């Protein structure tokens, strides 16, 4: 009794700590320690190819990545590509997800059947998606996509070099990413749609609102939180872009599909330059934190306006 | 009075007529046309892979003729089975068991570890709880890519093992967060009365919380399985011995090695994805609910 009073945490203290311990140890060992290691290594010149050990470099890695006129352009190119990719994928994929969800949110026979097909690519590993699309993207008239374009344009559209043309390669990567990811978003939006009270639609119908008026005045405001969530995860997904690029284009042609993660992984894994890769990792995390904070801020302002 | 009923009747009839009006029929028709066209576009790459996996390589890459099912046979599958049947190329069954083993440990271990810490955070009072809570919320936004490089550096002496493929992925801040939000929402009364009856936290967790939380356990199972089964970046850096390579990495290796035989590559793809597709089609309600649940408040 007296013992229990001494600790303000009471009898649960030991059990609470014990139950958290496995998760806490694993998170520490495999998330926190590695991340701190990344920060630490980013201040060193660590190279697997070097005979001598790590040298302290201070901010030299960051200077080379962000400031140096010879070595920094490739990083900015990669960052720009990530941003461009986000600017294509976020609106296109979100818009498509909303369109599909609205079409599926109808009381029609066989809706579940269609939903199954839209969602199906989600269970495909990205490496397999990339390989299927490698063949869809074959560049001459033998390619599937070129064949389809040729058929539907009655021979007007000439074969496109989907992955070899620096102006198109990133767009092609975006296309397959949207195919692979839109089903996931659609399901989230569909769940958001079903949260909107039916009375709002009935009221709008009584006011003789047409489809677009209902869409803009009932559906979109009702989906606000869902859309913000979807936009945040798709933006972060755009920054993580790696698998598709590694399999299909290796960052090319002429760096048109370089990405931040592709730089980090090739620096460490192929060039053995762990110091540079770690510094890129730290910058990557700072960007993600900045985006999250920015979106939180926008979210809060919107709430205050309401 | 009778005119009022008459009026009401008319109104009802008008509504019925309007609901079956030609306009509505046309609308429904176009609704289906739209859905069918989009479905066809979505399914086209998958159909292409399925058909291509049954055709001779020379006929796979042939414009839209790739969709024409002609000269079908299981030769590509036989070739895949024959190719991956020795120490240097690896064994097909072994890629499978590698993927299954690693995914199973990640999913099952994750259910135990993450639900336990989430329960302790949601329902128990202990020293340091608030700090751990903040830590978990901070870690939720950290994607795996943020630690891939240092993990590769720290664990490079353990390449080509199983445990390096699953151990880093068992604890997941996102799974903890999903469990936590679910447990917080569970009614307290049953837990309180069990406590009065003398049940300790362990018993309450096992006998009350777990049985009441099947939906969140299903969600976490499916979401972490999809992640584990598809994992590519980390195996790419950590595994090159065909005895330990998981399926998604092996198909990339196969795709990269010349000659590029499209028929067998597609056959490999079908072999890779077919079991997951089957599970998805059987439990698709759960899959879809899990994804929807992953979005509960951002």
Q: What is the pLDDT of residues A135-153, one digit of tens each?
A: 888 887 778 888 888 888 8
B215, part of any domain: yes
A93, part of any domain: yes
Which residue in B35, B135, B138, B253 has the most chain A C-beta atoms within 10 A of its own C-beta, making it the best mutation to test that interface?
B35
B287, part of any domain: no
Give per-residue pLDDT as tens, B132-174. Answer: 999 998 898 888 888 999 999 899 889 999 999 999 999 999 9
A40, part of any domain: no
3-state SS class at B185: helix
Chain B partners of A277 at a C-beta cutoff of 8 Å? 149
A4, part of any domain: no
B1–A contact, CB cutoff 8 A: no
Chain A partners of B98 at a C-beta cutoff of 8 Å? none
What DSSP assignment string belongs to A178-225?
HHHHHHHHHHHHHHHHHHS-HHHHHHHHHTT--HHHHIIIIIHHHTHH
Regarding whether B62 and B8 lie in a shared domain, the answer is: yes
Regarding whether B211 and B150 lie in a shared domain, the answer is: yes
Give per-residue pLDDT as tens, B178-223. Answer: 999 999 988 888 888 888 888 888 888 998 899 998 889 988 998 8
Domain carrying residue A182: 72-305
Look up residue B111 and give its two tokens: 């259910």
Instruction: Return the axis-axis angle of helices A12-27 and B92-123, rounded to nearest 10°.
Output: 140
Q: Which helix (H) or strand (E) holds B176?
A: helix B173-185
Give the global pTM: 0.86
Give per-residue pLDDT as tens, B92-132. Answer: 888 999 999 999 999 999 999 999 999 999 988 888 899 99
Regarding whether B190 and B236 lie in a shared domain, the answer is: yes
A37, part of any domain: no
B271, part of any domain: no
The CA distance from A85 to A79, in Å, is 10
Regarding whether B210 and B105 lie in a shared domain, the answer is: yes
Q: How many domains does chain B have?
A: 2
Give per-residue pLDDT as tens, B259-278. Answer: 778 889 999 999 999 888 88
What is the separation, in whole angstroms, between the first and last Cα of chain A? 51
Of all residues in chain B, the one with the smallest CA distance to A145 is B63
Place of tokens 């979807």: A230
Which residues are CB-neighbours of B55 under 8 A, at least 6 positions away? Answer: B66, B69, B70, B71, B72, B76, B263
Whether residue B150 and residue A281 make contact (CB cut-off 8 A), yes or no, is yes
Domain carrying residue B107: 86-257
Q: Regarding predicted confidence, which is higher, B149 or A66?
A: B149
Helices and strands counted in chain B (H then E): 17, 2
Q: Regarding predicted confidence, which is higher, B266 or A106?
A: B266
Residue B183: the pLDDT is 92
Which residue in A17, A78, A101, A131 has the most chain B C-beta atoms within 10 A of its own C-beta, making it the best mutation to test that interface?
A131
Regarding whether B75 and B90 lie in a shared domain, the answer is: no
pLDDT band at A8 (very low <50, low <70, confident <90, very high): low
Place of tokens 């997904």: A237
B264, part of any domain: no
In this structure, are residues B292 and A101 in contact, taking their beta carbons and an 8 Å threshold?
A: no
Cβ neighbours around A67 below 10 Å, total:
10
How buried is B248 (Cβ within 10 angstroms: 0-12 exposed, 13-18 middle, 19+ buried)? Answer: buried
B269, part of any domain: no
**What are the C-alpha distances in Å from B260 to residues A181, B243, B254?**
27, 22, 8
The CA distance from B268 to A118, in Å, is 23
Regarding whether B247 and B211 lie in a shared domain, the answer is: yes
Q: Regarding predicted confidence, which is higher, B247 or B8?
A: B247
A263, part of any domain: yes
Of the candidates B132, B148, B154, the beta carbon closest to that of A20 is on B132
**What are the C-alpha distances in Å from B237 to residues B152, B155, B286?**
7, 10, 33
Q: Show which of residues 67-106 on chain B sit within 8 Å of chain A, judged by CB atoms.
A: none
Q: Range with the lowest mean pLDDT among A82-86, A276-280, B148-152, B260-264?
A: B260-264
- Name which of A184, A188, A104 is nearest B39 in CA terms: A104
CATH number at residue A174: 1.10.3720.10
CATH number at residue B137: 1.10.3720.10
Regarding whether B164 and B34 lie in a shared domain, the answer is: no
Chain B partners of A114 at a C-beta cutoff of 8 Å? 35-36, 38-39
Regarding whether B233 and B103 lie in a shared domain, the answer is: yes
A52-55 own/partner pairs: CB under 8 Å, 24+ apart: A54/A275
Of the candidates B28, B127, B292, the beta carbon closest to that of A191 is on B292
Regarding whether B102 and B209 lie in a shared domain, the answer is: yes
A17, part of any domain: no
Domain-ending residue, one of B35, B51, B83? B83
B18, part of any domain: yes
What DSSP assignment string belongs to A102-152?
HHHSS--TTHHHHHHHHHGGGGS-HHHHHHHHHHHT-SSTTSHHHHHHHHH
A47, part of any domain: no
Give per-residue pLDDT as tens, A263-273. Answer: 999 988 888 88
Regarding whether B114 and B56 lie in a shared domain, the answer is: no
Q: CA gyration radius for chain A?
A: 25
B136, part of any domain: yes
**pLDDT over 70 percentage in chain B:** 94
This model of the complex carries an ipTM of 0.85
**What are the C-alpha distances in Å from A294 to residues A228, A297, A304?**
12, 5, 16
Domain-ending residue, one of B16, B49, B83? B83
B158, part of any domain: yes
A62, part of any domain: no
Q: How many domains does chain A have?
A: 1
Whether residue B273 and residue A135 make contact (CB cut-off 8 A), yes or no, is no
SS3 content of chain A, % helix, strand, coil (to 5): 70, 0, 25
Give per-residue pLDDT as tens, A118-136. Answer: 888 988 999 999 999 988 8
Nearest-Cα distance to chain B for A267, in Å, is 9
Domain-ending residue, one of B61, B83, B105? B83
- Name which of A30, A27, A48 is nearest A38 in CA terms: A30
User: How many pairs of residues across A and B have Cβ atoms under 8 Å apart?
Assistant: 280
Which residues are CB-neighbours of A224 under 8 A, at least 6 positions away? Answer: A302
Dihedral pair phi/psi, residue A45, rounded to 5° = -100, 95
Regarding whether B79 and B35 lie in a shared domain, the answer is: yes
Give per-residue pLDDT as tens, A170-220. Answer: 999 999 999 999 998 998 998 888 888 888 888 887 888 787 888 888 888
């Amino acid at each position: 009794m007296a013992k229990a009073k001494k600790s303000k945490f009471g009898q649960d203290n030991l059990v609470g700590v014990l139950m958290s311990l496995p998760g806490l140890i694993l998170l520490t060992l495999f998330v926190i320690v590695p991340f701190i290691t990344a920060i630490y290594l980013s201040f060193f010149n660590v190279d697997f190819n070097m005979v001598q050990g790590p040298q302290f470099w201070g901010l030299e890695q960051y200077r080379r990545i962000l400031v140096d006129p010879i070595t920094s352009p490739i990083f900015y190119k990669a960052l720009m590509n990530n941003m461009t990719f986000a600017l294509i994928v976020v609106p296109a994929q979100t818009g498509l997800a909303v369109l599909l969800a609205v079409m599926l949110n109808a009381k029609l026979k066989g809706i579940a059947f269609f939903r199954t097909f839209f969602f199906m690519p989600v269970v495909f590993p990205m490496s397999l998606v990339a390989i299927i699309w490698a063949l869809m993207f074959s560049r001459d008239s033998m390619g599937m996509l070129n064949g389809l374009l040729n058929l539907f344009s009655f021979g007007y559209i000439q074969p496109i070099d989907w992955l070899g043309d620096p102006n198109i390669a990133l767009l092609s990567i975006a296309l397959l990413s949207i195919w692979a990811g839109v089903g996931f978003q659609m399901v989230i939006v569909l769940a958001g749609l079903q949260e909107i009270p039916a009375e709002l639609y009935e009221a709008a119908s009584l006011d003789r609102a047409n489809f677009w008026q209902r869409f803009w005045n009932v559906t979109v405001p009702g989906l606000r939180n869902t859309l913000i969530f979807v936009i945040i995860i798709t933006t972060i997904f755009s920054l993580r872009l790696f698998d598709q690029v590694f399999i299909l284009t290796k960052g090319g042609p002429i760096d048109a599909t370089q990405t931040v993660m592709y730089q980090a992984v090739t620096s460490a894994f192929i060039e053995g330059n762990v110091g540079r890769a770690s510094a890129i990792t730290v910058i990557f995390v700072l960007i993600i934190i900045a985006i999250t904070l920015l979106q939180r801020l926008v979210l809060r302002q919107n709430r205050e306006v309401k | 009075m009778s005119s009022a009923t008459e009026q009401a009747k008319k109104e009802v009839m008008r509504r019925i007529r309007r609901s079956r009006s030609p306009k509505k029929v046309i609308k429904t028709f176009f609704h289906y046309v739209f859905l069918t066209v989009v479905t066809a576009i979505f399914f086209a790459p998958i159909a292409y892979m399925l058909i291509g996996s049954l055709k001779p390589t020379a006929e796979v890459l042939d414009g839209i003729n790739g969709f024409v099912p002609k000269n079908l046979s299981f030769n590509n599958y036989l070739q895949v089975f024959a190719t991956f049947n020795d120490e240097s190329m690896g064994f097909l069954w072994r890629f499978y068991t590698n993927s299954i083993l690693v995914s199973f440990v990640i999913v099952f271990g994750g259910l135990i570890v993450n639900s336990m810490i989430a329960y302790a955070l949601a329902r128990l009072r202990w020293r340091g709880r608030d700090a751990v809570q903040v830590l978990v919320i901070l870690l939720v936004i950290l994607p795996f890519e943020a630690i891939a490089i240092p993990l590769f550096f720290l664990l490079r002496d353990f390449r080509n093992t199983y445990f390096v493929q699953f151990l880093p992925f068992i604890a997941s801040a996102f799974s903890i967060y999903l469990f936590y939000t679910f447990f917080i929402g569970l009614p307290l009364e049953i837990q309180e009365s069990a406590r009065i009856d003398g049940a300790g936290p362990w018993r309450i967790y096992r006998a009350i919380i777990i049985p009441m939380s099947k939906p969140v356990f299903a969600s976490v199972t499916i979401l972490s399985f999809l992640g584990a089964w598809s994992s590519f970046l980390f195996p790419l850096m950590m595994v090159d011995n065909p005895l330990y390579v998981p399926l998604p990495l092996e198909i990339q290796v196969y795709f990269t090695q010349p000659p590029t035989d499209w028929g067998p590559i597609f056959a490999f793809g079908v072999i890779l994805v077919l079991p997951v597709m089957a599970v998805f089609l059987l439990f698709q309600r759960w899959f879809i609910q899990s994804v929807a649940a992953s979005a509960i408040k951002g």
